[in-house]
């Protein structure tokens, strides 16, 4: 193919040389690439030859007349542009007509034999080849010049060298070999460009069918339609290009192109580096750059970020939001900037953990369910057509509270690597806090995506922060989490990892992939057709990729000889010093070319090798790895160097340290701090940092801290560094920021008056002065900077003298504080030194704000340096929203303001504003001041206002509190915004964190606005305006404090007592022993007597008045009047109308209850209870009973007599009455009543135990039964496995359900559930592997259910199943054991000479063996003893004529494989004569 490409490119170059058009077009020439059917006019230029060819008529060999073109001129070669019927260019073709006629003919014949269907592009190209071939056959050239002949001969020789490639191409047209995967003919090259330039990446991709391509940036698909202004993609004739326009720093990335067709996928990567040209220090990736003019919109966008988020602290599990307000000026309709958030300089993508929002004015980032992975430096970048602005702050994430005191916190950054069919490697980072004891190891949990079941992957904890998880199911997706363990307990689980699919990457080579994203959104996989009968070869390159104390990971390359069937692998190991190889995975071969080996002895050496297998057999073993010693290859990092701590802010410090030496695979460093004098160490960061410098925030100002650092890698933690030197936390002092706004205030012939604004940041110390520099300007030539003042200025204005008239000068200003001199301000515009002729005043200077709130702000300024021709007599203040245009300026007031301050109200909370002030004299209004702002109208969190306090002695003061004071901060009080120096009216007292201004003698002279500002803070201030009404109110309060009123803790209240008595009472906060009380009813003083009882306890301040009952005449107002020296107090209670009548009824009812309780009565009315034994008791408590008090029980209005059966259920203990129903059933339902009666009165209590009452009792019974259930136990029988739980009692109405794996179990012949007495059981007959799993029993408890769970898996299943099999085998053995089942007597007495015939019934499966014994000696069948065994059931013995010698102990022995048994009997043979003789002797 390369030769063909060279010929085509050479012809194309010759064609371009003879054309007058100088445009260059790059096309790919390839005879086997599929191309587009048409090309746009923008992609190709149609070339026209300037030479003219003459038509001639010639006769062909076949006699037909054809129109023939004359030969081309020498320099005019034929254009090899392929045209379709519509004369559209469709590509380049190779000039076949110059080949040998025989070769061309063979190509034509091969083409005619093909009947397959190709793509339309390929068919068009093939037809063009044939058309050219036919033209070369039919046309006969009669005359050729020598030059033409030589040229054609040279071209034929050149084509001859490429004919073999042509033949290969024609072979590919065979349908079996036409398609082939994508292939990069030319690959994209990495490029380096300057910022602002464009760059274009090119590549050429071959393949059939035509591959589809997609471009990616850092593995993220590039959406050209979404960003047409940034990217442009072209694909012409298999030449693909990506153009990146107007490159900026963040276009630096890895770009790769992916090509895909049905045969496979190919990709290639190129790196683009964007450089930024800048003199001096190079800017960082997020440093703002100057705003430039945007020709697209015709404006220069200026971006300002206000309301900035600060350093934030969150806790795991919480939600945290960061936000900034963004102002873009000017406002262009329908234009929105690009808002991008970064964490540690990496762009953030929206996910379930990260939410971003842009409202058009405010950018917000929300971190949902914080984890330590979210800790880092967050940056907001706002991109516009003119540049970008950024703001950054750190976010710290503290650990969630541990469940067990002293347990470790959760690990972090769980990731999956090297995913295969069989296993995946899980890595994580150790937490910052180990707890009260060192971490012993980690547990790894896995969960299949789509489920909620977490399974622990390792039985024993692993110390290494890297673990291979095995036992995955191929094709399924998993997520993982990690938990840390120490002596105290287990941590919370970490954040879950990203899902990973269990699939071997090597399978991709054997899978066909359909079109994938972005154009179809799916991938189809189809296995290759299998090839059988080929034993795979041996694997190669077997190496140990990981080795720790816990495991070893092997990896190897698949064999070359394996066919299309695929292979699996067996792993073998050999202990050092032996020649014996043991197979590791005996149960199942692995599919992946990687394997993790566990259970190896630490310190021992092993060798490993691998064998391949498939359906044809097991192949030869690989080459051994050599001896590998089991142990950690990664050492712990060494301790970091000594930390050095420097001050930063009032709540933060900067910690720097020396990096750990000789450390491998460093994860990062953890920094810890401790307050001097304590031994409590706290983490400063919960996510390890790799740099050796860290800013620790969240410290307490004024405390003395020490710091230490420890390094961490996958092996664990290093030793901590030595402690740093102690450091007290307080703000560091730095040089101030640059002054701003250098302007000309007044100009005369030989001097100029300059003004400027203070620096926005004073560096933590007061500004001590300013230095002014100047230089001359002549055209474009500027002179050197020279100092104007050698002594620092204390004001923001300066009179530059001894200047030359009509000369232009530039000025710059530098501020100075105790830390040093700031950078110079931006130079002023060139200013001409000539006398002003204007009469109006100049612009006011020194604009600043105080008391910034949501809806208001106080603007202050100083008079202009140049008053004009007459003194300034007033000012005008203008305001506008920062985002508005120049037409948005509005006057704050209409009338002239003679003060040098003004409070602006009516602002919108959260909106930014800018301000300007104009001065006025008799000649008119002058030019505005420099613009102040933007100022965000928002109250700072924790801001407090001045409040007025009057103490107990009537002393009046104003108080202002500040919680953000620094060591050198001071309170400055002002009146009408002029600092108070006269102490005759106010006495200033500074207390801790607050200042108090005490009025010496408050009067109308103190009218005005008092304000207080805290120096060396971010403008913390407040004001309080004293009006005439306010002064009067304060004087009244002071008077009340001087002449106090007796305070009441409670106003008069009313309480009902026993017998219906009424208590009126109140309580004073304090009183003296001289305090007196007058009790008044309806303006009449009442005294103690029969109706009223009074009491005043001066120690507690409680005043009481009692009345035995309320009568109609008692309706009215009750009052207590108190007098205690000069203090007085009054409290009243009005009882009239409905309120009085309601109280009277309650009093009468209370008295009636008291009367009822004078006789026998119920203290607690009849109710029920269920005992732990599930007996139902009806119970009540009685009071005030005597021995003669009658107590009667009844059911359904029928009295229960002493002789009734239910009378035995009644019991009384002291004041408690019980009726023990026992085990309840439906017949016990009814209405139960108890009556009390004696001569003092009677009482009754009823309990309705029907319907709802009966159901309530049953629900309580169900609750007791359910909670009495034991944990599920397992028992095996000969029939199967029984799961059971015992309860105290069972009721037939109790609902019990069994579930397996959370699915309800349906009753069947094999699986049954039921109840036996107090045992709830589930019988599983003939259990199988399918019966393994989690079983649960739900018992209804009246409201919900009580669940008992049993895991019938693992050891529990193995033990139960083995016991079942043992019992089943024993039952079978017992059932089929050989035994004598009957027919034989115990004793046989027979007369001598008689015949004896005994038959025994025998049973056994298989049929037992039968034998007989006499006196434990075996008998053999002979003439005397006839032994028979018939039908396998009947064994008989026959003795024809017995004698006394036949007496003895006989036994029938039966035996089979299940056992042996003997049926014993005794035979006694007697002689009648001898017996008679014996009897006679006895007589």
The confidence band for 14, taking pLDDT boundaries of 50, 70 and 90, is: very low
State the pLDDT at residue 1017: 78
Average pLDDT over residues 192-204: 88
State the pLDDT at residue 277: 58
DSSP string, 157-189: HHHHTTHHHHHHHHHTTSTTTS-EEEEEEE---
Q: What is the DSSP letter of 692?
A: S
Give Cβ neighbours of residue 644 (< 8 Å, ≥ 6 apart): 655, 656, 657, 724, 725
Torsion of CA 96, 102, 105, 109, to 10 degrees: -130
State the pLDDT at residue 988: 85
Cα distances (angstroms) measured from residue 85 to each of 36, 95, 225, 844:
15, 19, 34, 81
Handedness of CA 76, 78, 82, 85 (dihedral sign): positive
Residue 722 backbone dihedrals phi, psi, to 5 degrees: -60, 155
Residue 1246: is its pLDDT beyond 90?
Answer: yes
Separation CA 316–CA 398 (nearest Å): 6
Residue 1096: is its pLDDT beyond 70?
Answer: yes
Separation CA 306–CA 846 (nearest Å): 22
Of the candidates 1094, 1090, 970, the residue with the CA atom closest to the CA atom of residue 1020: 970
Residue 1138: is its pLDDT beyond 60?
Answer: yes
Give Cβ neighbours of residue 734 (< 8 Å, ≥ 6 apart): 763, 764, 819
The encoded tokens of residue 7 equal 């010929």
Of the candidates 862, 848, 824, 825, the residue with the CA atom closest to the CA atom of residue 745: 862
| Beta carbons within 10 angstroms of residue 853's beta carbon | 18
Residues 797 and 753: beta-carbon distance below 8 Å = yes
Residue 1385: is its pLDDT beyond 80?
Answer: yes
Lookup result for tokens 């795991």: 316
Question: Of 177-191, 427-441, 1204-1218, where does mean pLDDT reach its minimum?
Answer: 177-191
User: Secondary structure of 603-653 in the HEC alphabet?
Assistant: CCEEEEEEEEEECCEEEEECCCCCCEECCCCCCCCCCCCCCEEEEEECCEE
Strand partners, 1463: 1452
- Higher pLDDT residue, 1037 or 639? 639
Residue 83: is its pLDDT beyond 50?
Answer: no
State the pLDDT at residue 508: 44
Residues 966 and 1016: beta-carbon distance below 8 Å = yes
∠22-25-30 over CA atoms, to 5°?
Answer: 140
Percent of the chain with pLDDT over 90: 22
Residue 512: is its pLDDT beyond 60?
Answer: no
Average pLDDT over residues 468-490: 89
The encoded tokens of residue 688 equal 């390890």
State the pLDDT at residue 1382: 85
Q: What is the DSSP letter of 105?
A: H
> Where would I find the beta strands (DSSP E) of 335-476?
338-343, 346-347, 354-358, 362-367, 376-384, 387-398, 412-417, 423-429, 441-448, 454-456, 466-470
User: Secondary structure of 1323-1361 in the HEC alphabet?
Assistant: EEECCCHHHCEEEEEEEECCCCEEEEEEEECHHHHHHHH
Residues 259 and 180: beta-carbon distance below 8 Å = no
State the pLDDT at residue 538: 86
Cα distances (angstroms) measured from residue 1128 to each of 327, 1045, 1249:
62, 5, 62
Residues 557 and 533: beta-carbon distance below 8 Å = no
Residues 1216 and 1171: beta-carbon distance below 8 Å = no
The encoded tokens of residue 173 equal 């047209």
The encoded tokens of residue 1483 equal 């007589």
Contacts by residues 152-157 (CB-CB < 8 Å, ≥ 24 positions apart): 152/98, 155/98, 156/98, 156/99, 156/100
Residues 728 and 657: beta-carbon distance below 8 Å = no
The confidence band for 167, taking pLDDT boundaries of 50, 70 and 90, is: low
Torsion of CA 1321, 1327, 1332, 1334, to 10 degrees: -10
The encoded tokens of residue 90 equal 């469709």
State the pLDDT at residue 326: 92
Segment 1402-1450, tens digit of pLDDT: 888 888 989 999 888 898 888 888 888 888 888 888 888 888 888 899 9
Question: Of 191-205, 296-310, 979-993, where does mean pLDDT reach its minimum?
Answer: 979-993
The encoded tokens of residue 739 equal 């002054």
The confidence band for 166, taking pLDDT boundaries of 50, 70 and 90, is: low
Separation CA 669–CA 656 (nearest Å): 11
Segment 651-690, tens digit of pLDDT: 899 999 999 987 888 889 999 999 998 888 999 999 999 8
Handedness of CA 52, 55, 56, 61 (dihedral sign): positive
Segment 1254-1308, tens digit of pLDDT: 999 999 999 999 999 999 999 999 889 999 999 998 888 888 999 988 888 888 8
Lookup result for tokens 């520099």: 773
Most confident region among 365-369, 734-738, 834-838 by mean pLDDT: 365-369
| Helix, strand or coil, per DSSP, at residue 1114 | helix
Strand partners, 1162: 1182
Separation CA 1409–CA 1116 (nearest Å): 116
Lookup result for tokens 């009472």: 1065
Question: Of 4-18, 258-272, 764-778, where does mean pLDDT reach its minimum?
Answer: 4-18
Averaged confidence pLDDT in the chain: 81
Handedness of CA 497, 501, 506, 511 (dihedral sign): negative
Average pLDDT over residues 1068-1079: 87
625 CA to centre of own chain: 42
State the pLDDT at residue 1350: 92
């Amino acid at each position: 193919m390369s030769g063909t490409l060279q010929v085509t490119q050479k012809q194309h170059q010759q064609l371009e040389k003879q054309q007058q058009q100088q445009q260059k077009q790059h096309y790919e020439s390839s005879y086997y690439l599929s191309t587009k059917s048409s090309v746009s006019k923008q992609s190709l230029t149609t070339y026209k030859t300037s030479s003219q060819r003459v038509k001639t008529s010639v006769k062909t060999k076949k006699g037909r007349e054809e129109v023939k073109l004359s030969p081309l001129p020498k320099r005019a070669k034929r254009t090899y542009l392929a045209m379709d019927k519509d004369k559209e260019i469709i590509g380049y073709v190779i000039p076949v007509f110059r080949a040998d006629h025989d070769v061309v003919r063979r190509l034509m014949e091969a083409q005619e034999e093909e009947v397959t269907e190709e793509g339309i592009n390929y068919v068009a190209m093939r037809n063009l080849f044939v058309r050219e071939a036919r033209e070369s056959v039919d046309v006969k050239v009669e005359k050729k010049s020598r030059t033409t002949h030589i040229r054609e001969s040279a071209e034929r020789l050149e084509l001859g060298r490429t004919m073999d490639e042509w033949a290969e191409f024609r072979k590919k047209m065979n349908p079996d070999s036409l398609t082939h995967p994508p292939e990069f003919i030319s690959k994209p090259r990495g490029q380096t460009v300057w910022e602002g330039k464009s760059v274009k990446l090119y590549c050429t991709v071959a393949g059939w069918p035509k591959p589809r391509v997609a471009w990616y940036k850092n593995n993220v698909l590039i959406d050209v339609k979404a960003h047409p202004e940034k990217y442009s993609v072209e694909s012409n004739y298999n030449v693909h290009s990506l153009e990146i326009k107007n490159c900026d720093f963040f276009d630096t990335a890895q770009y790769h192109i992916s090509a895909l067709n049905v045969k496979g996928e190919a990709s290639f990567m190129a790196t683009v580096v964007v450089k930024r040209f800048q003199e001096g220090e190079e800017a960082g990736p997020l440093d703002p750059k100057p705003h430039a003019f945007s020709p697209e919109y015709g404006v220069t966008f200026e971006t300002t970020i206000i309301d900035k988020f600060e350093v934030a602290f969150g806790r795991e599990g919480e939600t945290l939001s960061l936000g900034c307000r963004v102002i873009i000026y000017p406002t262009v309709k329908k234009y929105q900037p690009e808002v991008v958030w970064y964490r540690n300089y990496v762009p953030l993508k929206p996910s379930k953990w990260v939410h971003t929002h842009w409202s058009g004015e405010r950018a917000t980032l929300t971190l949902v369910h914080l984890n330590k992975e979210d800790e880092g430096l967050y940056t907001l970048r706002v991109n516009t057509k003119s540049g970008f602005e950024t703001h950054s702050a750190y976010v710290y994430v503290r650990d969630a509270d541990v469940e067990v005191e002293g347990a470790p916190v959760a690990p972090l950054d769980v990731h999956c690597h090297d995913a295969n069919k069989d296993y995946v490697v899980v890595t994580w980072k150790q937490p910052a806090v180990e707890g009260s004891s060192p971490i012993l190891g980690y547990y790894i949990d896995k969960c299949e995506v789509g489920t909620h079941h977490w399974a622990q992957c390792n039985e024993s904890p692993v110390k290494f922060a890297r673990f291979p998880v095995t036992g995955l199911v191929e094709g399924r997706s998993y997520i993982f989490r990690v938990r840390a363990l120490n002596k105290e307990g287990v941590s919370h689980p970490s954040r879950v990892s990203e899902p990973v699919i269990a699939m071997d990457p090597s399978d991709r080579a054997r899978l066909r992939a359909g079109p994938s994203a972005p154009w179809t959104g799916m991938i189809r996989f189809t296995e290759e057709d299998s090839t059988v009968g080929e034993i795979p070869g041996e694997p190669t390159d077997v190496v140990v990729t990981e080795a720790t104390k816990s495991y070893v990971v092997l990896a190897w390359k698949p064999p070359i000889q394996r066919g299309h069937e695929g292979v699996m692998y067996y792993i073998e190991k050999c202990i050092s010093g032996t020649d014996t190889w043991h197979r590791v995975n005996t149960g199942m071969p692995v599919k992946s070319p990687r394997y993790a080996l566990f259970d190896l002895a630490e310190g021992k050496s092993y060798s490993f090798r691998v064998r391949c297998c498939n359906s044809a057999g097991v192949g030869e073993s690989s080459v051994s790895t050599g001896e590998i010693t089991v142990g950690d290859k990664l050492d712990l990092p060494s301790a970091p160097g000594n930390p050095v701590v420097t001050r930063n802010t009032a709540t933060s410090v900067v910690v720097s340290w020396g990096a750990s030496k000789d450390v491998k695979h460093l994860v990062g460093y953890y920094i810890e701090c401790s307050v001097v004098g304590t031994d409590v160490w706290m983490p400063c960061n919960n996510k390890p940092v790799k740099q050796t410098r860290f800013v620790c925030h969240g410290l307490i100002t004024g405390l003395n801290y020490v710091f230490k650092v420890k390094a961490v890698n996958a092996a664990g933690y290093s030793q901590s560094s030595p402690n740093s030197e102690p450091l007290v936390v307080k703000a560091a002092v730095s040089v101030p920021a640059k002054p701003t706004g250098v302007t000309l205030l007044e100009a005369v012939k030989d001097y100029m008056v300059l003004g400027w604004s203070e620096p926005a940041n004073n560096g933590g110390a007061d500004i001590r002065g300013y230095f002014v520099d100047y230089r001359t300007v002549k055209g474009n030539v500027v002179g050197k900077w020279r100092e104007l003042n050698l002594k620092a200025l204390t004001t923001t204005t300066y009179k530059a003298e001894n200047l030359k008239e009509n000369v232009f000068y530039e000025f710059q200003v530098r501020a100075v504080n105790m830390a040093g001199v700031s950078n110079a301000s931006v130079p002023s515009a060139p200013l001409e030194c000539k006398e002003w002729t204007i009469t109006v005043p100049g612009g006011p200077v020194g604009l600043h704000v105080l008391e910034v709130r949501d809806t208001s702000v106080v603007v202050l300024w100083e008079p202009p340096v140049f008053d004009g021709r007459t003194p300034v007599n007033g000012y005008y203040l203008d305001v506008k929203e920062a985002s508005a245009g120049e037409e948005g300026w509005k006057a704050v007031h209409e009338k002239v303001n003679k003060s040098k301050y003004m409070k602006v109200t009516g602002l919108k909370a959260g909106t930014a504003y800018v301000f300007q002030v104009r001065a006025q004299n008799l000649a008119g209004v002058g030019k505005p001041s420099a613009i102040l702002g933007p100022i965000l109208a928002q109250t700072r969190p924790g801001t407090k206002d001045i409040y007025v306090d009057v103490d107990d002695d009537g002393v009046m003061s104003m108080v202002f509190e500040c919680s953000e004071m620094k060591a050198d901060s001071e309170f400055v009080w002002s009146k009408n915004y002029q600092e108070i120096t006269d102490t005759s009216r106010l006495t200033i007292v500074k207390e801790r964190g607050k200042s108090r201004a005490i009025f010496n003698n408050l009067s109308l002279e103190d009218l005005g606005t008092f304000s207080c500002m805290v120096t060396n803070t971010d403008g913390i201030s407040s004001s309080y305006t004293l009006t005439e009404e306010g002064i009067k109110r304060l004087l009244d309060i002071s008077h009340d404090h001087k002449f106090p009123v007796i305070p009441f803790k409670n106003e008069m209240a009313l309480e009902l007592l026993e017998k219906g008595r009424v208590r009126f009472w109140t309580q004073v906060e304090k009183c003296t022993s001289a305090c007196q009380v007058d009790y008044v009813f309806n303006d009449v003083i009442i005294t103690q007597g029969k109706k009223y009882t009074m009491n005043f306890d001066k120690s507690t301040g409680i005043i009481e008045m009692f009345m035995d009952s309320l009568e109609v005449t008692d309706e009215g107002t009750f009052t207590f009047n108190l007098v205690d020296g000069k203090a007085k107090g009054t409290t009243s209670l009005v009882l009239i109308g409905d309120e009085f009548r309601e109280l009277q009824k309650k009093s009468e009812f209370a008295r009636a209850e008291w009367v009822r309780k004078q006789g026998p009565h119920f203290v607690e009315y009849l109710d029920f209870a269920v005992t732990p034994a599930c007996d139902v008791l009806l119970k009540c408590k009685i009071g005030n009973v005597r021995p003669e008090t009658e107590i009667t029980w009844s059911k359904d209005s029928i009295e229960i007599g002493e002789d009734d059966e239910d009378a035995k259920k009644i019991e009384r203990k002291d004041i408690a009455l019980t009726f023990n129903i026992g085990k309840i059933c439906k017949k016990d339902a009814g209405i139960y009543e108890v009556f009390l009666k004696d001569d003092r009165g009677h009482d009754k209590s009823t309990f309705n135990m029907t319907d709802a009452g009966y159901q309530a009792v049953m629900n309580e019974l169900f609750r007791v039964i359910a909670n009495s259930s034991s944990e599920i136990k397992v028992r095996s029988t000969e029939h199967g496995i029984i799961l059971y739980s015992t309860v105290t009692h069972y009721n037939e109405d109790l609902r019990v359900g069994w579930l397996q794996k959370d699915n309800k179990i349906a009753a069947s012949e094999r699986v049954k559930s039921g109840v036996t007495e107090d045992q709830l059981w589930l019988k599983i007959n003939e259990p199988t592997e399918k019966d393994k799993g989690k079983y649960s029993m739900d018992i209804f408890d009246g409201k919900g259910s009580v669940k008992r769970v049993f895991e019938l898996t693992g050891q529990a299943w193995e033990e139960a199943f083995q016991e079942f099999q043992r019992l089943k085998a024993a039952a079978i053995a017992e059932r089929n054991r050989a035994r004598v089942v009957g027919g034989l007597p115990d004793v046989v007495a027979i007369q001598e000479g008689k015949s004896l015939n005994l038959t025994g019934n025998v049973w056994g499966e298989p049929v037992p063996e039968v034998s007989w014994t006499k006196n434990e000696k075996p008998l053999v069948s002979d003439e005397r003893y006839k032994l028979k065994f018939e039908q396998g059931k009947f064994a008989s013995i026959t003795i024809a004529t017995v004698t006394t010698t036949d007496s003895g102990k006989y036994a029938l022995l039966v035996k089979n494989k299940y056992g042996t048994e003997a049926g014993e009997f005794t035979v006694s043979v007697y002689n009648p004569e001898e017996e008679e003789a014996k009897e006679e002797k006895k007589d």
